[in-house]
Every structure is written in C-alpha cells, then in structure tokens.
Structure 1
Amino acid sequence: MTRTRDWVPDSVDVSVPSMARTYDYMLGGAHNFAVDREVGQKIEQVMPGLRTAARVNRAFLKRVVRFMVDSGIRQFLDIGSGIPTVANVHEVAQLADPSCRVVYVDRDPIAVAHSELMLATNDRAAIVKADMRDPEHILDHPVTRSLIDFDQPVGLLFLLVLHWVPDESNPHALLARYRDALAPGSFLALTHVSADHQDSTLTAATDVIKRSNSPDQITERTHAQVTALFGDFDLVEPGLVGCGEWRPHGPGDISDRPNMNMLVYAGVAQKPTP
C-alpha cells in the first residue's frame, strides 16, 4: 500500500466514487481518489462553473454560522458534515465564541476518520458516525448528548445533503423528527439543489452521477418542496433564495456565473416560541 493510501480506512472501496469525496475535490481538497476526480471532471464538463457553486455553498456555511452565533446560538449539530476542509463549523463558531459546542455527523468513513483527527484536542467538538436517516441514533448518541443540550436553542445544519435523500425515504418526516427535538429559538439551515430555472446541464450532470454507479443520487426539488422541509419554522429574511443571494457580505460570497448562484437554494428558519 502506498503512503497516499495510509489514511484510507479498510472499509472504503476506492473503486466506487463518493459524492462526499467528489465535493472535497471540487473544494480543492486532498482526500479524494482518481475515481472521484473523474466524476467531478465529467460533471464540470457538462456544467461549467460547478466549482464556484461549491465555493458559494461553503461561503454560505460561514455566513450562516456567524449569523447563528450573533443570534445567541452556542451549540451546533451539522448533519452530513463531509470531509473536513477550510472554515468548518467549529472553526467559525469558536472563533466568534470559544464556548461554542459542535457535533458533526457523517456516514462516510473518510469524513469521520479525518474529523476525529482534526478534533482530537478539541473538547467542545466531536463527530458521530451515522446515517442522517437515523435521527434517533444521532439525537440520542452519547457524544451528541455530551455536547448538545436540547433544552436550549441549537443551530441545526443540513447543507448539500437532503437532495441525496429520495422521496421514498420521506425527507419531510425525517426533518420533522429533527425539528421536533429542538428547543424554541433554534435555527435550521438548509441548502438543496434546485429543480427550478435549470437548463439541460443539470440533467446532464445528474446523468453523469447515475452512470458512475455511485450509491449517491440526486433528487432535485422545487422552491415549494424545499420550503416545506422547514415545516412550521419561520424563515428569516431573505427567505429561501439562491445560495449566493442569502445575505452576501462581498464578492467572494457570489459567483460571477448567475446560474451557479441559483443552482442551490439556501434558507434559514427559526423555531417559534409557543
């Protein structure tokens, strides 16, 4: 085994592409394989500018975490957190307030392994290896309970993950279980691939993923369908918008390709007080 594979858990089949690792490639990360880069390059060929969409989503993460900290949130649950890269949730939150606590959740063994290494000396952040479709396991996990007090407001993030949940898995019921666990005043942040205002390039990109034999397949959803995932939470201004249009702070938050700003919907909503 070469040294470049020393960080790969034995359970990982490096011949099958992973969308988590492809996203890592899009962000310029190093924890991906040739099969992941091949898929990413093919998607970029049919959807030029996709790397900027990944960057815009990552910039949204930073803005929304800062917004939540400014709104009084001091504990975060990041579902489908992915492979660690720059400006992770705990880095942004703890830079603003070192007392912030963060629990990451991911099922990808590479994401988990590298998160464990990154967080080894941080007693206010940890990772849980779990599938987001198993909320009871995640919410009741000892690691989660050690860092998150569900009697207090929580910042819950589902960024670029819910479009991997097909309709038959009932994402609305799934989100309802998570929302019900949160205290009033909590925030829910979502980013989700949009089915609206898209041209044939999105279909071509999803076809690339289908042909790759990846277990991860996209289900695009409309503005109304994504809005419904917030349930009875109150959307904060500017509502559900293109990712680059959610409270941008500067040019780095927006792509110079308008279609990439609208490829993904982004929104934040707050659980109302009874």
Structure 2
Amino acid sequence: MDFLTTLPVPRRVAVAGATGRMGRMLIDALRHAPDCRLAGALAGASAANQDAGAVLGFDSGVKIVSELRAGLADSQVLIDFTRPEATMAQLGVCRELGVQLVIGTTGFDEAQKAAIADAARDIAIVMAPNMGVGVNVTFQLLAMAAKMLSTGHDIEIIEAHHRHKIDAPSGTALKMGEVIAEAMGRDLKDCAVYAREGFTGERDPSTIGFASIRGGDIAGDHTVLFAGAGERIEITHRSAGRASYVQGSLRAVRFLADRKAGLFDMFDVLGLR
C-alpha cells in the first residue's frame, strides 16, 4: 500500500489535432507513459464523438471533440502541433482555464509570438520549433561553431521537409539562424537572406542564407554550411521520423509540472542553458 501511494499522479494531457499524424503518435505515446494520461482530444467537427484511440486500434475512453472548453475541461496541459491560427484560438481558452501549453507549431508572426509571451504571464508554456533532444543539442553545437567562425566563413542553412509542410523556412531552420546570429552578436532580422534569383551580385559575407526543399515524406533534414577559403564545415541533423518530437513533448509536459507561469523552450526543458 505504501508503494502505491508513492506512484506519481499522472499528468492529464490533451492533444490538439488528434486525428493528424503527430496527434495520433502523441495519443499512442500517452497510452504507454506511466506518468501521463490522455484527458482530452481536439479535432474538427467531422471527427467529433469518435474515440481518440479508434484509429490506433484501442479504446482510449476519451472522445474527440471540436469545442475547446469541452476538450480541455479535465486537462492540465495541452500539446499543440497544429497551425498558428488554431494555436491562437486555443491560447485564449488555455489562459482562461489555467491549462498549460506545449507548443510545437511553427510559422507564427511577430504579433502571434507576442500574444503567446503575454499569455505566459498567467500560464506556463513551453514553445519550441523542434522538440527533439538531438536537434536542441545541435543548436548548442551551432552556437559554438558560429563564435569560432564568425569571420571568414559564409553561412548557409539548407532544410528539407515533406510535401505537406505549409511554412518555409522551417521553424527549426529559423531557430538555427537565430542561434547563429546571436552567437555572432547579430540580429537575424538584419542579416537573413531567404531567396536568390536573377542577378544577385556577390554574396554579402555578413548574411545568413536559407534554402528550403519540399518533397515526398522527408521528416526533417537540416544542414548548416560554414564555407571558408579552402574548407567547408557542415553540421547536419536528420530526423528519421516524428518519434523524437513526441518524446521531447512528453519531457516538456513533465517539466511544466511544477511551473505556474512563464515562457520556456527546450533548452530549459533539457537543462542546456
């Protein structure tokens, strides 16, 4: 009996986009996580009232709903990998209900990022363009390389994703650019180049270039090229699938357990600061 009382109370987690690829993987992962349980599933009206585990071949006991308050009524934290407009709709309800957020959605504009930061005054939020542990370690390696190669090397970021991705460059690529720019004492807004076409002239050595590839089912490849005179250094991270994002999201859920408010990222979750 004493052993039973020491078991952690599972965190009650809702999943946005429950019928999507990430949503299904999150629901399956929650099924096997001893310290978390599925408490809500959000999706469009066409999927409402279906069991959230039906497509995965099990009965979760949680019905998919389209109404936000109903889906969050029994939840402590919402995991969101949807689209910016859906995230913003969920943000206000989460703030009102005191539900924490783990945001893996990308493509936010500056006003939307500001709204998320404002909501974090009342609820705890983890927001990261990539929840994977490995890619966040890669960010640290890029910062180290950028400090050492801040002069004499041209920097290009090349990313590739599946044909269904709707934003470019990817949130991970932009984060890489931000990390590199910060390490060199620059602001990415002032030095990023997102497109080249026609007569461009010589490359400005102070810029950070981006190139995006879309096709097939590529989960996510990112390479940062530091091209100098007589040498090239490439730092690459490749995702074989979304499993790393799922496990990182659950780590973020656990990290938020004793946080009342604040905006955090995966560096905070993984203790990389």
Q: TM-score, normalised by structure 2?
A: 0.39
Q: Which has the higher helix share?
A: 1
Which of structures 1 and 2 has the larger relative contact order (alpha carbons within 8 angstroms, sep 6+)? 1
Q: TM-score, normalised by structure 1?
A: 0.39
Larger C-alpha radius of gyration, 1 or 2? 2
